[in-house]
C-alpha cells in the first residue's frame, strides 16, 4: 500500500509539472506494469485530481493547484487559437465585450474583427496590452489586486467596476466544466469576478479546450444554461456534445 501511495504521489507530481502523463512512459520509468499505472490513474481520478484520457491523464486544477500563464501559453496553442477564431465570429454587432483572464480569451480578443468601434472590458493585463493599440477598440481594464499566476485583477475594486456595467457579450473561460456542477474555478476571488460578469452580460460564450469538460474545480460561478454557446475542440466526444447541448447552449467543436 505504501508503495502505491508513493507512486501515485509521483504520478500526480509529474502530471502537474508536465501537463499530462502517459501510461506507457510511466510504466517504463517507474518499472511497473501498465495495468498498475492504469489502476493508479483510476484511483487519482476518483480523488478528482486527474482526468483520464486515452493513454494517460491530465491534472485537474483545484484549490491547491493551478497552472500559471506561462504553462497555459505553451499548452494546446493550436487548439486554443482555433477555438478563439470560432468564438470571435460570434461578435455579431456587440458594442461592449468582456474578455476573461486566460490565454484562450486573449486569443479571442486578438481575433476580434469589429465592423465598428467596440469597448472591451477585461481583467487581464495581457489582453489589455494586446488590444491597446487597436484603433477600433477602447480598452477598459478592471482595477484590483493582480494575481501573478494569471496576470489578472480580482477583489472588490474589480467587482465594484463591473457592478456598474451592462455588457453585450462575454467570452468566459473556466478551469472545469461539468453538467453536474457547471463552470468552476479554483480561486474564490476569481469566481466572484466571473460570477458578476455572468450577471452583467446579455450574452455569454464559453471558450476552452475539451480537457476542461467533465472536470470540477473548487468554486462554481455559472451554470451551463447561462451560455448561448460552448466553443471547444473536437476532443469532446459526440455523445458528450449532445449531453451538453441538451442543457440549452449550442456546442461548437472546431
| DSSP string for 138-177 | EEEE--SEEETTTTEEESHHHHHHHHT--EEEEEE--SEE
42 and 91 in one domain?
no
199 and 92 in one domain?
yes
Query: CB under 8 Å to 138, separation ≥6 — which residues?
Result: 117, 118, 119, 120
CATH of the domain at 15: 1.10.10.10
Residue 64 inside a domain? The answer is no
221 and 138 in one domain?
yes
Cell numbers standing for residue 67: 497552472
| Angle made by CA atoms 105, 21, 73, in degrees to the nearest 5 | 25
Percent of the chain, pLDDT > 90?
Answer: 75
Under 8 Å between Cβ of 13 and 23: no
Question: Taking residues 61-67, what's their average pLDDT?
Answer: 67
136 and 20 in one domain?
no
Residue 129 inside a domain? The answer is yes
130 and 106 in one domain?
yes
Cell numbers standing for residue 189: 476571488
Q: Is the dihedral of CA 160, 163, 165, 169 positive or negative?
A: positive
Domain boundary among 19, 38, 59: 59
β-strand 152-154 against 145-147: which pairing, if any? antiparallel
| Phi and psi at residue 201, to the nearest 5° | -110, 145
55 and 75 in one domain?
no
104 and 163 in one domain?
yes
Domain boundary among 34, 59, 84: 59
Residue 37: its H or E element = helix 34-46
104 and 15 in one domain?
no
Residue 181 inside a domain? The answer is yes
Residue 41 inside a domain? The answer is yes
Domain boundary among 41, 59, 77: 59
118 and 239 in one domain?
yes
pLDDT tens, position by position, 171-218: 999 999 999 999 999 999 999 999 999 999 999 999 999 999 999 989
- Which residues are 62's β-sheet partners? 65
136 and 17 in one domain?
no
Measured between alpha carbons, how far is residue 29 from residues 19, 64, 76, 220 in Å? 17, 26, 25, 37
- What is residue 46's predicted lDDT score, i.e. its pLDDT? 87
Under 8 Å between Cβ of 105 and 123: no
β-strand 118-122 against 137-141: which pairing, if any? parallel
86 and 55 in one domain?
no
Residue 22: its H or E element = strand 21-22
186 and 81 in one domain?
yes
pTM of the model: 0.84
| DSSP string for 201-223 | EEEEEEE--GGGBT---SEEEE-
DSSP 8-state class, residue 225: G
Residue 105 inside a domain? The answer is yes
pLDDT tens, position by position, 5-60: 899 999 998 988 888 899 999 999 999 999 999 999 999 988 888 888 889 998 88
The residue segments making up the domain with residue 26 are: 2-59
- What is residue 74's predicted lDDT score, i.e. its pLDDT? 62
Residue 202 inside a domain? The answer is yes
Residue 189 inside a domain? The answer is yes
Number of domains in the chain: 2
Distance CA 143, CA 124 (A): 10
CATH of the domain at 112: 3.40.50.1360
Amino acid at each position: 500500500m505504501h508503495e502505491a501511495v508513493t507512486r501515485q504521489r509521483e504520478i500526480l507530481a509529474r502530471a502537474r509539472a508536465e501537463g499530462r502523463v502517459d501510461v506507457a512512459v510511466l510504466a517504463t520509468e517507474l518499472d511497473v506494469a501498465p495495468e498498475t499505472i492504469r489502476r493508479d490513474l483510476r484511483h487519482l481520478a476518483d480523488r478528482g485530481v486527474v482526468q483520464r484520457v486515452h493513454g494517460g491523464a491530465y491534472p485537474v486544477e483545484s484549490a491547491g493547484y493551478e497552472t500559471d500563464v506561462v504553462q497555459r501559453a505553451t499548452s494546446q496553442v493550436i487548439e486554443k487559437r482555433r477555438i478563439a477564431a470560432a468564438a470571435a465570429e460570434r461578435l455579431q454587432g456587440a458594442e461592449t465585450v468582456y474578455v476573461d483572464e486566460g490565454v484562450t480569451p486573449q486569443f479571442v480578443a486578438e481575433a476580434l474583427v469589429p465592423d465598428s468601434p467596440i469597448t472591451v472590458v477585461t481583467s487581464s493585463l495581457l489582453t489589455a496590452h494586446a488590444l491597446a493599440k487597436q484603433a477600433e477598440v477602447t480598452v477598459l481594464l478592471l482595477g484590483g489586486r493582480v494575481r501573478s499566476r494569471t496576470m489578472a485583477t480580482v477583489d472588490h475594486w474589480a467587482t465594484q467596476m463591473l457592478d456598474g456595467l451592462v455588457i453585450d457579450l462575454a467570452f468566459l473561460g473556466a478551469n472545469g466544466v461539468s453538467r453536474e456542477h457547471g463552470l468552476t474555478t479554483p480561486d474564490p476571488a476569481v469566481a466572484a469576478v466571473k460570477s458578476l460578469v455572468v450577471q452583467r452580460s446579455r450574452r455569454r460564450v464559453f471558450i476552452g479546450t475539451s480537457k476542461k469538460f467533465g472536470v470540477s474545480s473548487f468554486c462554481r460561478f455559472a451554470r451551463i444554461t447561462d451560455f448561448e454557446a460552448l466553443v471547444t475542440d473536437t476532443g469532446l466526444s459526440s455523445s458528450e456534445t449532445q449531453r451538453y447541448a441538451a442543457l440549452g447552449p449550442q456546442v461548437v467543436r472546431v
